[in-house]
């Protein structure tokens, strides 16, 4: 298999992995709609405070704190893998605030970009 063929296969696998991760998050999101509702509310709290940017990780950690400490609601888990998806959903639903969260590429996107940037013949 040539470099280009193997790179193409790897890129296709990374794209499938990313889609699977998105689907897993989306299923979890549909089962837990209160998480996004709270994420959105806390994000608007940050916006109303005058911030131009804020951490989506901090928003999720506030959700974790409120649920685990203040409500004593039992074991509550939000996967770290889902945090970036919530920030992207917020930007998609509220384009006026696109860029409020400074987002990095998802790991699969970064790996694909890296593979596409390699000079011919380098692995």
pLDDT 10s digits, 31-72: 889 999 999 999 999 999 999 999 999 999 999 988 876 545
Max avg pLDDT among 4-18, 39-53, 96-110: 39-53
Query: Can you tell me the distance from the alpha carbon of 53 to that of 39, in angstroms, rounded to the nearest whole number?
Result: 15
Continuous segment of H or E residues that includes residue 47: helix 33-48
Total-model pTM: 0.81
33 or 118, which is more confident? 33
Continuous segment of H or E residues that includes residue 92: helix 80-93
Query: Can you tell me the distance from the alpha carbon of 104 to that of 111, in angstroms, rounded to the nearest whole number?
Result: 12
For residue 35, what are the CA distances in angstroms to 101, 103, 118? 17, 19, 39
Query: Can you tell me the distance from the alpha carbon of 120 to that of 1, in angstroms, rounded to the nearest whole number?
Result: 14
Question: Average pLDDT, stretch 106-113?
Answer: 89
How crowded is residue 19: how many other Cβ atoms within 10 Å of its Cβ?
A: 11
Residue 81 CA to chain centroid, in angstroms? Answer: 6
pLDDT of residue 104: 92
pLDDT of residue 74: 54
Percent of the residues in the chain that have a pLDDT greater than 90, as a whole number: 63
């Amino acid at each position: 298999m040539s470099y280009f063929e193997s790179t193409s296969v790897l890129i296709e696998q990374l794209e499938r992995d990313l889609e699977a991760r998105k689907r897993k998050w989306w299923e979890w999101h549909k089962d837990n709609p209160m998480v996004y509702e709270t994420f959105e509310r806390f994000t608007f709290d940050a916006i109303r405070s005058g911030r131009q940017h804020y951490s989506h990780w901090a928003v999720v950690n506030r959700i974790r704190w409120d649920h685990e400490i203040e409500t004593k609601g039992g074991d509550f888990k939000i996967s770290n893998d889902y945090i970036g998806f919530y920030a992207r959903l917020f930007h998609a639903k509220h384009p006026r605030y696109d860029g409020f969260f400074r987002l990095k590429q998802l790991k699969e996107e970064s790996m694909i970009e890296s593979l596409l940037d390699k000079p011919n013949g380098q692995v």
